[in-house]
Amino acid sequence: MVGSAIVRALHSSGYKNIITRTRAELDLLVQEDVGNFLKSEAPDFIFLAAAKVGGINANDSYPADFIYENLMVEANVINSAYNAGVSRMLFLGSSCIYPRDCSQPMSEEQMLSGPLEPTNEAYAIAKIAGIELCRSYNKQHGKDYFAVMPTNLYGPNDNYDLNDSHVIPALLRKAHEAKLRGDKEMLVWGTGDSMREFLHVDDLAEACVFLMEHDVKDGIFNVGCGKDMSIREISEIVAKVVGFNGKLVFDVSQPEGAPRKLLNTDKLRQLGWESKISLHDGLTKTYADFISNESYYSC
């Protein structure tokens, strides 16, 4: 999702010499292949968007997969980029790097200031390691590798598999299928009280290109819209966008993660960037994309 959005943003900004590979073409878990690829292509800049991602159920069920694959991908790419002479890189992290109960909104300085949310701790530790890899290569080798921490994302090319998707894609699919079946109720995990911030992936992609163009050399940059809402509220909005008129039922026996996750984006805003896509417009476009692609809900 993120990688394709960055490619769209680069094309929109006039860039033409863009190098991409699918996982079938290049497995980032294989160090030798990654090293050979980067030496052969010799890119000037890298956007490292590749990662194993998933929702609360996937993270909690498969922690070994999440920590191993993400550690391997970032280590292979960052070290191979250094060996290939790549001077600038943007690493995609996640807001889950911040402590579960840290003060809100969460600033970049709060990383490692307290315990992580247990349900996605393995993934968070892998992402923290990626940030430290960037810092370390900058310090020892004089590189300009920096990281962005996006909030909860949604948009085209998302994962709609109900076993491992994130909040919005799961809600969109549930509401769509409930509408088609004529259900009177739709089940939502948790109490509905947890607070979350949501950002359209095209906004994130624009922020990534913005930072790469503005001579950022190191550090962490939060990327969000600056507003959050409860899971109950976002569920109601999704139901309205989809056209599901039934009742929302909240399953309190299911996990719901950290009580609140709102990013402080002052650092990025001071550079001149702010999000542009409203939640309603973003959800409307995302739902239109969803219903036009059968592959999204054939899983």
Is residue 131 within 8 Å of 91, Cβ to Cβ? yes
CA dihedral for 163, 167, 170, 175, sign (positive or negative): positive
Residues 138, 265, 215: CA angle, nearest 5 degrees: 40
Phi, psi of 163 (to 5 degrees): -80, -25
123 is catalytic: yes
Strand locations in 79-190 (E): 88-92, 144-150, 152-154, 185-189
Q: In terms of Cα–Cα distance, which of 208, 216, 210, 220 is closest to 87?
A: 216
Q: Which of 82, 98, 123, 287 is catalytic?
A: 123
CA–chain centroid gap for 3, Å, is: 10
101: its two tokens: 């109960």
Residues 293, 277, 233: CA angle, nearest 5 degrees: 80
What stretch of H or E contains 136? helix 121-141
The catalytic site residues sit at 123
